[in-house]
Amino acid sequence: MRPSPPPLLRRTAIALLAALAAAVGVTAATESRAAAAGVEDEGVSCPAPALPDAGALPTVTRLPDPFKRLNGTRITSPADWRCQRNEIKKLAEKFVYGEKPAKPSSVTGTVSASTVTVNVSHNGRSASFSAGVELPSGTGPFPAVVVLGGFGADTATIKAAGAAVIKYDPYAVGREGTGRANKQGAFYSVYGSNSTTGLLVAWAWGVSRIIDVLEQSGGSILRGDATGVTGCSRFGKGTFVTGAFDQRIALTMPIESGTAGVPILRGVPGEGAQSLSSAYGEQPWLGDAFGSFTGSPTRLPVDTHETVAMIAPRGLFIMDNPHIANLGPRSASVAALAGAEVYKALGAGGNITYWSDVQDGSHCANRAEWREPLRQNIQRFLLNTGNQAGVMRISSRAAGNLAEWRDWTTPHLGASPSSSPSTSPSSGGSCSTTYTAGQQWADRFNLTVNVSGGGNWVVTVTAQSPQYFQNSWNAATTLSNNNTVLTARPNGSGNSFGFTVMHNGNRTWPAISCLIA
């Protein structure tokens, strides 16, 4: 087995990849390679934002603009997103979830083929917990998916795809059934039983400490640089928050999370979902400060579409159930659609999937419709062996309308790809391509492809759902797969050709590959 690089070298390499991606842009086929960060929180070096006072918050009926800074200006480049995300994080901590502390002063533990142990010490307090491990067949080291709570997740498909399963009991870190002034579990043993941080962030903190131990282990069994997280129902809520608050997590997969999970807080009261006051009172999932907003979510300066945005540009696969109104699936689809605008602005529109188009209405059932996209997401974001772009498969039973919820536009942050080299089979040669942006309209845009490296090239361009190709010029082209795949060959017009993309709201440049015939 090839040993993994030391955590510091690995984090440095990932940071360099991320910086390169921000500078030159990436296609869907390579977005996942640099999507996960090498640190838990990239925003720690950002200036501390001046957060508003709870008593001075205005009523805003539509979703807050995720591209607007607290000072009222809008971000204009991908480089701005790091500190913009930090502002969103601080708002979410103050008003919704409670604060997630930084890494404790001491985290140690062990990793075996059956168990991960975690020992934490901070400011004279300590706590320990452990999680079970199930390995897939084959030879490691393996990427791992942390499964919260042990039900609802399709662990068979996860392992069949080549990832290990870490069986994490969130109650060991933050117990349910306690009062807000007497919270229990490993998190509260370290930070105090009267901490104002809710269980969802406590559970997220526990996953982060597991990742710390994986990184320290050297990666001989489980890789610390390829981690996913999933869980259903209340553990879907925890999964969602966990992925948002740790940027080392490459793939976040909440299942049927309901109120306090993915659904926009502003939409819950009008959908017949579990009420905000009920979710706040059922368990201390949310931070204590959220109690002031259960009857007035329109006063919140943040909403869950921005929690979605905190995960961007990393992999996100949201699984939802349109058959149970109490779960707020319509509001969840709005959160996904609005958060996807940030993915698109960052040039990573293919990194998010929302799927509620399912037949079985049972809560937390393993569904055949999710099996293949689950496998594809694991291959793409944890194994780096796939490039299938994400999709929005929203059931007509619970389809939200983003236009009703936003009055802001999505900026183009300049994160378009510049080149995407592709190597042909060994019998041929290689060629490379660059994109040049052309005219853009409200519903479509033009791109020109410039080919270098050989005269007998074949270029394949794959649209990002829900895009499709309308027309092309200066090449011999064919369309397939409902006009979503364009194959181009030279027709004597030179080594440049163009096409029109009907974007249907997804302005991400299509994926592209080139080989010599």
Least confident of 1-10, 154-163, 285-294, 334-343: 1-10
d(CA 101, CA 191): 9
Residue owning tokens 């994926």: 511
Reported as a pLDDT band with limits 50, 70 and 90, residue 413 is confident
Quote the Cα angle for 136-142-147, to 5°. 70
* pLDDT higher than threshold 90 for residue 505: no
- Predicted pLDDT at 23: 35
328 burial class (0-12, 13-18, 19+ CB within 10 angstroms)?
buried
CB 231 within 8 A of CB 149: yes
d(CA 239, CA 251): 10
Alpha carbon distances (Å) from 147 to 116, 125, 143: 13, 27, 13
- Other CB atoms within a 10 A radius of the CB of residue 80 amount to 16
Chain-wide mean pLDDT for the chain?
88
Looking at residues 330-336, what average pLDDT do you find? 97
CB 431 within 8 A of CB 490: no
Same fold, 7-384 and 422-516: no
Q: Where are the domains of the chain?
A: 7-384, 422-516
- Predicted pLDDT at 236: 98
Looking at residues 299-322, what average pLDDT do you find? 98
SS (H, E, C) 42-60: HHHHCCCCCCCCHHHCCCC
Residue 444 φ then ψ, to 5°: -160, 165
Token pair recorded at residue 249:
């997590």
246 burial class (0-12, 13-18, 19+ CB within 10 angstroms)?
buried
* pLDDT higher than threshold 70 for residue 260: yes
Would you call 363 a catalytic residue per the annotation? yes
Instruction: Write out the DSSP string of 140-176.
Output: S-EEEEEEETTSSS-HHHHHHTT-EEEEE-GGGTS-S
Catalytic residue among 208, 233, 257, 416: 233
Residue 140 φ then ψ, to 5°: -80, -170
* pLDDT higher than threshold 90 for residue 84: yes
d(CA 314, CA 312): 5
- Predicted pLDDT at 33: 41
d(CA 31, CA 183): 40
Least confident of 14-18, 140-144, 293-297, 351-355: 14-18
Beta bridge partners of residue 353, listed in sequence order: 317
- Predicted pLDDT at 343: 92
CB 97 within 8 A of CB 174: no
- Predicted pLDDT at 17: 39
Residue owning tokens 């043993």: 189
Looking at residues 73-99, what average pLDDT do you find? 96
* pLDDT higher than threshold 80 for residue 337: yes
d(CA 470, CA 498): 11
SS (H, E, C) 231-272: EECHHHHHHHHHHHHCCCEEEEEEECCCCCCCCCCCCHHHCC
State the amino acid at position 509 in one-letter form: W
Catalytic residue among 128, 363, 412, 432: 363
d(CA 261, CA 237): 4
Reported as a pLDDT band with limits 50, 70 and 90, residue 276 is very high
Highest mean pLDDT among 19-23, 78-82, 288-292, 441-445: 288-292
Reported as a pLDDT band with limits 50, 70 and 90, residue 429 is low
Radius of gyration, CA atoms only, the chain = 23
Q: Which comes out higher in pLDDT, residue 31 or 465?
A: 465
- In this prediction the pTM is 0.77
Please give the CATH number for the structural domain made up of 7-384. Answer: 3.40.50.1820
Reported as a pLDDT band with limits 50, 70 and 90, residue 418 is very low
The dihedral through the CA atoms of 306, 312, 314, 318 has a sign that is positive
Instruction: Write out the DSSP string of 307-374.
Output: HHHHHTTSEEEEE--TT-GGG-HHHHHHHHHHHHHHHHHTT-GGGEEEE---S--STT---HHHHHHH
d(CA 214, CA 227): 9
Mind listing the pLDDT tens digit for each residue in 378-399? 999 999 888 888 989 999 999 9
d(CA 357, CA 276): 25
Please give the CATH number for the structural domain made up of 422-516. Answer: 2.60.40.290
* pLDDT higher than threshold 70 for residue 414: no
* pLDDT higher than threshold 80 for residue 2: no
CB 75 within 8 A of CB 69: yes
Which of 344, 302, 306, 336 shows the shortest CA–CA distance to 320? 336
